[in-house]
Every structure is written in structure tokens, then in C-alpha cells.
Amino acid sequence: MAFQPSASLLMPDAKKTNPDAGLFSELPESKRPKRVDESRSADDEQLFDWSSWQSKLPPLKKHSVAKLDVLRSYIEDYITILCTGNPGQDRFRLTLVDGFAGGGIYEGDSFGSPFVLLQAVKVAEARVNQTRTKPLTIECNYYFVEADEAAANCLDYQLRQRGYAHEIGKSITLIRGKFETAYERIIADVQQRHSRGGSRVIFFLDQCGYSDAPPPLLRAISEKLNLKAEFIVNLAIDWLTTYLRDEKTFRKIYPSLGVDAVLPIEKVLAAAKNEAFDPQYVVESLIGPAFQQVSGSPFFSPFYIQAPKSNRGYWLVHLAPARRARSAMLDVHWRVGNGCRHFGHTGLDMLSFKSDANPSGYLTGLEFGESIRSSVKDKLTHDLSREIRDKHSAGISYREFQDAYCNRTMANDEIVRQVLIRLMQEGEIDVSGKQGGAKRVDSIVPDDIIKPGTGRVLLVVPRSPKKRK
Ligand SMILES: C[S@@+](CC[C@H](N)C(=O)[O-])C[C@H]1O[C@@H](n2cnc3c(N)ncnc32)[C@H](O)[C@@H]1O
């Protein structure tokens, strides 16, 4: 039985429509909530409209470019990380599912997500092979799901025109239909291809609204894939924040978010009334963790993608089965820099409200970049030191520490490592090997044990590089 999202009935037709249509049409104009982004113009209505693709393609807006940059960089990094360091390996198998694929091409020959995925895999394969003696082949199966007939026709045509005709029906499966039903066939294919489990599947779910890929559906998919599935889910934040300002409407649409079992609506509405918070903070800090909890994924990041100088953006929730994947997504956020934004603060428990934190974090968001990176390091130096002193007097391995704390900060693994090294050198923490031995001063490995410090390290002697034999 296909998964039925509970409240799709409440959704206006997500596709290509003004988000205010439908739900607000019964309200007089004066009572309709003000849009967060007043700049929404008539040409926004043409976004993702491939109905006349043979004569006119839709435009690709700045914020969509930023979203696709994140997707491209993440896939390239993901493959590079997983394929580095195993010289004997000769193939790497992966499944990429683009659940809301669109028509593939925008005005000016700009590529949409299906082509971004195809190209990212090729780039990563070439990158990985640059340093290998034994070549590695990436065997990737792609599923492109598209519900709209015109968009699917455009995608099919563009794939054939651009050299992928021979792969359609082989490594590329184009599914005409809704993701909510198509996913079952995809899972069956994956299970058949990987009969002993061990499949790596990444779903890119770039829906038009926010209710076509709800977290109970993600959990159902994940459970059928041995809890190894990974999801990059895009939610139309403009809609959510608009609805948050209109209680009556928000009460109607709330069940469609799929988080009401763990997050009472009253809590969200109360936060939405707080003038110290932008609705994006409310969404990130409350709906984000609830989304993760319901999905059952152990690692997540809830940041926004916003093109520089644009108010428009996406809420890109990343749900991953492994910390390494979460950190790789954070690497991308830091690299893309001011295209990515976090509503909250820079310390530990980045989503909680702290009266002493920079208030702009709750109102306008913090852009990933050099000054925020240095604030993250400073705040974490203080917060992690206190945390280790208060909670880990018996010691915790570096691996467990990273697993336990990564979801609670804007930091990637590397920033946390640098903070811990700073703390070791300041004597705030002691780090030694699993079996004890000398304290470390300038490095840390996964099995190392971290404890509160017993004294300041006065002299930091860098290790001498190992002599080559
Ligand atoms: C935001 S656009 C996708 C853009 C595309 N990912 C890209 O980056 O170029 C969403 C697409 O999903 C399609 N769509 C809407 N509801 C869908 C559903 N339930 N299942 C699959 N596709 C759907 C729309 O027709 C539209 O083409």
C-alpha cells in the first residue's frame, strides 16, 4: 500500500501556484497574512512550469542556483570521501533518487537537479581516479520521478538530446508519477540489486510545498532500506513562515507537516507570537528537531539556503545515517558561505534561545562565513569545556563525543576537532589514547579518550614528521 500523507487534501495545488491561492481565497484581502517576502512577483509564478517547454523554459532563480550548488558540491564530496583510502576497491555502488525532478533544463540552458546529479557523479569519479593506480568505477543508478506530464516529457527529451539516451531504462529510470507512490518501486529495485543489504541511497526531495515528503514517509522508506537511506529535503519556507502568521490557517495545515505526534501545535504558535523571533527561527528550532525525531535519522542539519542579497530561499533539511555525511553537508555550507544561513546562535545547542546570544541570530539569521566561523569556535571552546567538565569526568571517546554533539552545533567535524585541540593546549581537557599513555597536545584520533583537564599544558611541542623509510 502506498504511503498516504495525511493532509495532502489541505494543500493547495503546490505546483506553480501562488501559495496564497486556495487556503487564503476564502479570506477577505485585508485579512490575508502578509507575505514574508513582499517582493514575490508575477514571474515567480513561472517557476518550475514546463508546460510550454518546447517554446519557453522556466527561469532558474538565484536561490535555486544556490540550492543546486549545495546539491552538486555535496554529491561530489560524498563520493570523494567514501572512495578515498581504499586502493583495492574497483567499484562503488550508489543510488540517487530525485523525487521531484522537474524538467531538467531552465531558461538559458541552465541545468536542473537531474543533470546536476549526473554531472556530479562524473566529476567525483574523475576526481577520485586522479590519485589512484587501480581505477574505480562509480556504478550509480538514478531514479528521476516527476508528476507533471509536461515536465517529465521535457526531462525525457533533454536527457536523450544530451547524450543519455542509451542509459534510459538502464542506469536511468524515469518515473512519471508521484513520489509518494513511486518510492515503493524504487525500494523494490534497490532491494533486488542489493539483496544482502548494504545499499547507499540518497533521496533529493525538492518538493514545491512542504507536505509531499513528510517525515513519517521518510521513516518508512528508511526502515525498508536498513536505516541506511539519506535524505536532502527541501521545504518551501516562504509558505510555512507565511502560514505561521495566520493561526487559523496554520491549524489547518499543521498535520500535513507530519510532526504533530511529537510537537504540539500550541508550542509552535506560542513561539511564533514572540517578536524576538523570525518565523524562520521558529521553524528551524522547533519543527527541525521534530522532523528529525519523526524521521528516525540519527544525524541532521536544518539550515537555510539563501542566495546572497535575496530574501528568497529554501529550508534544506539533511537527514543522514552517518555523522560523516552530516559533516560533509556542513563542509558544503561553510564553503558555499553566505548562501547558507542559520537562525539561532553559534554555540552548543544552537537552536535553543539564549538571552545573551547575538539577537540577530533569531531575527535575521547568521550567514555561514569567516566571522561566524570564528564565533562558533569561541563559543564552542567555552561550551564544550563546560560540558566535558560537567558530564564526562569518567571520559568519553572522541568518536562518541562527535556523534553525541554534532547535531547540536553549526560546526563540522573539523571545527570541533580544532576546538578540542585548543582546549587540550589550554589544559581544559586531557586527551590520551584508549589505553592511557602520554597526553596528546596537537592531535586527536577517534578512539582517544577525552576527560576534564588536570593542568595547563605550558609548552606545545609539535610532533616531528615521521621519517620516511
Ligand atoms: C521544485 S520543482 C523541482 C525542481 C528540480 N528539482 C530542479 O532542481 O530542477 C518540483 C517538481 O516536482 C513536481 N511535483 C510536484 N508534486 C510532485 C509529486 N507529488 N511527486 C513528484 N513530482 C512532483 C513538479 O511538477 C515540479 O516539476
Q: Centre a 10 Å sphere on the Cβ of residue 65 and count the other Cβ atoms it contains.
A: 15
CA–centroid distance, residue 145 to ligand 1 (Å): 8
Mean pLDDT to the nearest integer, 228-256: 91
Nearest to 36 by CA among 251, 258, 343, 329: 343
Kindly report, residue by residue over 119-176, the tens digit of the pLDDT. 999 999 999 999 999 999 999 999 999 999 999 999 999 999 999 999 999 999 999 9
Q: Which of 173, 169, 165 is nearest to 145 (CA)?
A: 173
Q: What is the model's pLDDT at position 321? A: 96
What is the average pLDDT score of the chain? 87
Confidence of residue 236 (pLDDT cuts 50, 70, 90): confident
Give the closest residue (by CA) to ligand 1 atom 19. 178
Asked if residue 76 has pLDDT above 90, the reply is: yes
With beta carbons less than 8 A apart as the criterion, state whether 305 and 329 touch.
Answer: no
Residue in 207, 212, 233, 239 to alter for ligand 1 test, most ligand atoms within 8 A of Cβ: 207
- Whole-number pLDDT of residue 20: 36
pLDDT of 296 above 70: yes
What is the 390 CA–ligand 1 centroid distance (Å)? 48
Q: What is the DSSP letter of 7?
A: T
Calculate mean pLDDT across residues 45-56: 88
What's the mean pLDDT in 176-182? 97
- Pairwise pLDDT comparison (373 vs 236), residue with the higher score: 373
Please give all residues whose beta carbon lies within 6 A of any atom in ligand 1, as ranges.
Answer: 14-15, 48, 68, 100-102, 112-113, 145-148, 151, 178-180, 206, 208, 212
pLDDT band for position 105 (cuts 50, 70, 90) = very high
What confidence score (pLDDT) does residue 85 get?
85
Burial class of residue 388 in the structure, from the number of CB atoms within 10 Å of its CB (0-12 exposed, 13-18 middle, 19+ buried): buried
- Output the residue whose Cα is nearest ligand 1's atom 13: 100
Report CA(34)–ligand 1 centroid distance (Å). 26
* Rounded Cα–Cα distance for residues 404 and 395 (Å): 13
pLDDT bucket at 46, cuts 50 / 70 / 90: low
Residue 88 CA to residue 154 CA, distance in Å, equals 41
| Domains of the chain in sequence order | 62-368 (3.40.50), 372-452 (1.10.10)
* Share of residues in the chain with pLDDT > 70 (%): 86
> Does residue 91 register a pLDDT over 90?
yes
Per-residue confidence at 456, pLDDT binned at 50, 70, 90? low
Question: How far away, in angstroms, is 148 Cα from ligand 1 center?
Answer: 8
Distance 294 CA to ligand 1 centre (A): 23
From 235, 233, 245, select the one nearest 23 (Cα to Cα). 245
Beta bridge partners of 91: 137
| Nearest-atom index, ligand 1, CA of 204 | 6
- Centroid of ligand 1 to alpha carbon of 14 (angstroms): 9
Question: What percent of the chain has pLDDT above 90?
Answer: 74
* pLDDT tens-digit readout, 412-448: 999 999 999 999 999 999 999 988 877 788 899 999 9
Whether 5 shows a pLDDT value over 50: the answer reads no
What's the pLDDT score for residue 74? 97
Please check the confidence at residue 79 and state whether its pLDDT lies above 90: yes
Residue holding cell 504533530? 260
Pocket perturbation via mutation, ligand 1, pick of 17, 53, 100 by most ligand atoms within 8 A of CB = 100
Determine the distance separating the centroid of ligand 1 and the alpha carbon of 346, expressed in angstroms: 34
Give the atom of ligand 1 at the shortest distance from the alpha carbon of 179. Answer: 20
Whether residue 338 is predicted with pLDDT greater than 90 in this model: the reply is no
**Which DSSP string corresponds to 35-97?**
PS-TT--GGGGGTT--TTTTT-PPP--HHHHHHHHHHHHHHHHHHHHHHTT-TT--EEEEEEE
- Name the grid cell of 146: 516527476
What's the gap in Å between 105 CA and the centre of ligand 1?
13
Among 110, 119, 146, 204, the mutation site with the greatest number of ligand 1 atoms within 8 A of its Cβ is 146
pLDDT tops 90 at residue 281: yes
- The reported pLDDT for the residue numbered 311 is 65
- 199/51 Cα distance (integer angstroms): 36
106: alpha, beta or left? (left if phi > 0; alpha if psi -120 to 50): beta
The predicted model gives 292-315 an average pLDDT of 88
